[in-house]
Amino acid sequence: MTTIVYVIAYLGIVFFLIAVAARFVFWSKMPMHLRWELYPVAHEGGGRAAYGGSYLEESDWWKKKREVSLLGELKVMVPEILFLVALREHNRKLWTWSFPFHFGLYLVAATTILLLVGAVAGALLPANAAAPINTVIGFVAPWLGGAGLVLGIVGALGLFARRRGRALRDYTAPADLFNLAFFIAAFGVALVTFVGYDRDFSLVSAFVANLVTFNLAPVATGGAAALLLLLSVVLLSLLTAYIPTTHMSHFVGKYFAYHSIRWKDDPNLRGGKEEKVIEELLSRPISWSAPHIGGDGKKTWLDAATEEPEVENK
């Protein structure tokens, strides 16, 4: 039984990485989006982002080197990722539950990374060098992990109730409720294991260390502790593999929504990369059935953009 649980954990991690990579490749190959022309753009340099300006304000802008600020992007993206700023501004009621849910996920993910760091340190470093690292992790991880599980469950319960309420009931699919129930179940079992049998995270730390070193030995010898630990690992592994196959993988799409749509303002210069992409897109055939487009599968977008519109005789 223990060996099967280790195998499920490995498969969950591998499937998650492959699925996320596939999502990333899928989004990266999408056609160029129509430019929004919405400002401010966070990466605008020269202080123009502060008042919503752009490089297009300058005379002969196409002859000058653009100033792009990575720090400007981080100032927007980090608060948005951690605190869901846009949701708080536009839908405070939903943010009330969505924020603890997402922040709980971040804490659980951070705890997992810490445990992996400790396991790798224990496997690669001498005992006297790894000991201080694992001492710090052993103190921090239970606090982060426990808080993450509680926040995740509270947020998921609140979102579940919101989805069942009048405001969102008509916009909720059964899969939305299932996803939240899955989180509640997986985090709930993990929380019971933590509170009842593993308050110092010694069992889960040992399991992660065994994963890193490919040691498939049990870390708990029978009883409720062993059963709950194995059940928790199975549920969390299945949840990890499941997330990127659903719309919950929006964390990938959100990156492209900002960088390829909302903030995409690269100039279309003669002979530049943007021109080549646009020319390729304009050469694609139109297959729309709308009569005003006249798409027959042969006419291209360039034809549609340059042809004279027909004038109806009245």
Read off the pLDDT of residues 103-162 as tens digits, 9 standing for 90 and up. 999 999 999 999 999 999 999 999 999 999 999 999 999 999 999 999 999 999 999 999
Answer yes or no: is 125 within a domain: yes
**CATH number, domain at 123?**
1.20.950.20
Structural domain that includes position 225:
2-30+84-245
- What does each C-alpha distance from 189 to 71, 112, 115 come to in angstroms? 40, 16, 19
The domain total for the chain is: 1
Q: Which residue has the higher pLDDT, 47 or 200?
A: 200
Spatial contact of 102 and 84, defined as CB atoms under 8 Å apart: yes
Helices 202-213 + 223-242 axis angle, to 10:
60
Answer yes or no: is 152 within a domain: yes
Spatial contact of 231 and 224, defined as CB atoms under 8 Å apart: no
Of 180-189, 239-248, 251-260, the range with the highest mean pLDDT is 180-189
Per-residue pLDDT tens over the stretch 46-99: 888 888 888 988 899 988 888 889 999 999 999 999 999 999 999 999 999 999
Answer yes or no: is 58 within a domain: no
Answer yes or no: is 302 within a domain: no
Answer yes or no: is 115 within a domain: yes
pTM here? 0.89
Answer yes or no: is 73 within a domain: no
Answer yes or no: is 182 within a domain: yes
Answer yes or no: is 59 within a domain: no
